[in-house]
A and B are shown apart, each in its own frame.
Chain A
Amino acid sequence: MERRELLKMIALATGSVVIGGEFLLSGCKNNEAGKGITFSQEDIDFLNEVAETILPKTNTPGAKDAKVGDYMKVMVNDCYTEKDQKAFYAGIKQLDEACNKMHQTNFMKASPEQRKALLIELDKEAKAFQKEKGEKEKAEKEKAGKERNKVFEFEPNHYFTMMKQLTLSGFFTSEVGAKQALRYVAVPGKFDGCIDYKKGDKAWATS
């Protein structure tokens, strides 16, 4: 299938909130380039722990093994708009505050169970936020109608949506993600449209 249709199909088949795959589809949508954020090593460590909570090491490697924190730094600075950059960076503090509120402890000091409970809540909050944002933007776009070159001033994305998207894309397109969490064959040599599959067999990495 042609790449353009395939990507659209993935997006559409999975509903309006496409996590992870979306950056491949549309990249960053706005025009304004961000000035860049200086992430400290502390920030990167923090992001690694967030990512590891989302995709922890199980019997396969986790997000930290794929250096997702470093990947987030590159993606946020190079690919995000200034608005999203700021929202993402502010999100580090907000996440910590939310953790304090829920567990009376900082995220870095929280137990894995506390971290997971927090992120499950933040995920719900972020999904609700993105849904409402999406509906608002859709209405605005419909109002604009044919003015397809119109530049919209949309509010930034929820910080946790960005963190989760980057965790998923950063992990599953990394070498450890593709080769150890998933299966990857660089040169398949053939295509078989119908092979047997049994539960537990890994999905193919598509890179």
Chain B
Amino acid sequence: MPENVYDAIVIGSGISGGWAAKELTEKGLKVLMLERGRNIEHIKDYVNANKEAWDFPHRGGRTQEMIKDYPVLKRDYPLNETNLDMWASDKDSPYTEIKRFDWFRGYHVGGRSLLWGRQTYRWSDYDFEANAKEGVGVDWPVRYNEIAPWYDYVEKFAGISGSKEGLPHLPDGQFLKPMDMTCVEKDVAARIKEHYKGSRHMIIGRVAHITEPHADRTECQFRNKCWLGCPFGGYFSTQSSTLPAAQKTGNLTLRPWSIVTKILYDKDTKKATGVEVLDAETNKTYEYKAKIIFLNASTLNSAWILMNSATDIWPGGLGSSSDALGKYLMDHHLGVGASGMVEGYEDKYTYGRRANGVYIPRFRNIFGDKRDYLRGFGYQGGGSRQGWGREIAELSIGGDFKDALTEPGNWTMGIGGFGEILPYADNKVTLDKTKKDKWGLNVLAIDCELKENELKMRKDMMNDAAEMLEAAGVKNVNKWDGDGTPGRGIHEMGTARMGKDPKTSVLNKWNQVWDAPNVFVTDGSFMASASCVNPSLTYMAFTARAANHAVEELKKGNL
């Protein structure tokens, strides 16, 4: 085989790209995985993983220089001193905000699999059927029974801890043992269950941490330093899980510093033939050929690559024949909820740092509930004792003040909502050809906003949170509706949705581009709606399923 020819090319090395590489290599294909940023080797390159707060000159904070260099990242928690090199440079890779959109990116091997929140929930048919039932967007071409075995499959490999709850709208999975709830969380959960007569639930978060030894990985050590990279492999990332599996086959070639500028398309065979790569270090251009291509560049960047491909045939790019490409961008809207004080439990405390919290599954617009908006939201939160950042009554200065702060404070309990955003045609990305990035490539223009449905939902998200906490006996409940700017959920979805009809969707039910069936798009861009649960597990399941289909079709000679 010539050196630039492979069986398959995977564009991107994050959560879905890692899965594509693992599945395809394990099925015997020679795979080239392209990553636009630098390599990060598991353990070896987690340079700050064993540092403590006092090892950082600003104790993990942010400097004015960082604020100047990262005009987008500074808008929320990602801008910090401890893992700055795991976030994409806003300066090198600008984008245009027609409306404000906070885009937090990880351009390196592993992508945001190193940075993610690791919350992992299955969709149910309440999610897959919603578009069809409500006449919103396009109907999902897939139902739960088709994807459930793939959820099983990816959960078993990734390692997900959680509790079986028997909830129809939040299906149970293949769980490792659940993490512990704090005593306050347990009691608040019991009171919510009682108050709402079993119709609302507070459960321990389902999270991609291994709580038992799993494959070659060491179980979670409860350090809560996940986003520095975990030297134990305690949580699922490309580096801890899918990449070593792919490398073990001997079939994987990983090429960092490889910006894919377009997918090469042959109009006679109506298939992609390969990709064009711009080497991010040398600025040289290369071509790589393959029979199948998995596009996993992360939601918006996958749309960007499609828009820049096959433009001689479709001016809007590969997959644009339906006019859906770039449209129906979604995220989860958050930054709204409530918290308060919990009296008592002074003789109880916790041990260890749990990088997880509690989860309250959706209860609105389901099981007979009907609101003046569509869909719903879930909550993440937790109950813990206050630390040294609190105020001490009557004390402000001196030895008594210090000694009081060296003991834990009151218990507090808080929950924050994650709400579904509907797919709207005018929430979209387009190419901005007037602006260039560091490599002279055109950039994306993002035009996305919350609309009436989301804004109405936020009222419930805030008030329901406060009501539930109060019903559970939490005192001094403080509710808030902060910043719901799209992008902050870091759950970008849509822009290349799947559907049943090539006239209204970019992908078919197997994640294949209708206009180029050997191109599979399996990152968040395929999503036809957003649900309100964290999306990564669904990307994993669809990726594994698509890879299986791709290899079957290849064997049949259909690709």
Contacts and interface: CB of A to CB of B under 8 A. Distances in A.
Interface string B340-355: 1100001111111111
A56 B347 contact: no
B197 interface: no
Contact of B350 (A80, A170, A186, A193): A193
A31 interface: yes
B283 interface: no
A175 B54 CA distance: 6
Contacts of A3: 77, 227
A148 B100 contact: yes
Given A2-B119, A2-B357, A33-B68, A192 B396 contact: no
A80 B181 CA distance: 39
Interface string B301-323: 00000000000000000000000
Contacts of A181: 402, 406
Contacts of B409: 203
A14 B340 CA distance: 9
Contacts of B453: none
A206 interface: yes
Interface string A164-207: 00001110111100100110111111111111111111111011
Contact of A123 (B227, B347, B396): B396
Contacts of A60: 402-403, 406
B398 A191 contact: no
Interface in A27-53: 27-28, 30-34, 53
Contacts of B224: 206
Interface string A6-43: 11111011110111111111011011111000000000
A13 B77 CA distance: 18
B26 to A, nearest CB: 32
A69 interface: no
Interface in A56-95: 56, 58, 60, 62, 71, 74-75, 78-81
Q: Size range of the interface on B? A: 35 or more
B500 interface: no
A119 interface: yes
B391 A194 contact: no
A84 to B, nearest CB: 10
B344 to A, nearest CB: 12
Given A28-B64, A58-B402, A207-B53, A193 B58 contact: no
B270 to A, nearest CB: 44
Nearest to A146: B100
B406 A10 contact: no
Interface stretch (B88-96, B138-146, B379-387, B536-544): B379-387
Interface residues of A, number: 84
B482 A188 contact: no
Contact of A191 (B179, B185, B478): B179
Contacts of A53: 397-398
Contacts of A172: 387-388, 405
Contact of B222 (A28, A149, A169, A191): A191
Nearest 5 A/B pairs, CB to CB: A21-B389, A1-B357, A207-B53, A191-B352, A188-B352
Interface of A: 1-10, 12-15, 17-25, 27-28, 30-34, 53-56, 58, 60, 62, 71, 74-75, 78-81, 116, 119-120, 123-124, 148-149, 168-170, 172-175, 178, 181-182, 184-204, 206-207
Interface of B: 52-54, 57-65, 67-68, 74, 76-77, 79-80, 100, 117, 119, 179-183, 185-186, 205, 221-224, 227, 334-335, 337, 339-341, 346-357, 380-382, 385-391, 396-399, 401-403, 405-409, 412, 414, 416, 478, 480, 482-483, 485
Given A79-B62, A172-B405, 8 more contacts: A3-B77, A21-B389, A119-B396, A149-B100, A175-B54, A178-B54, A187-B221, A194-B186
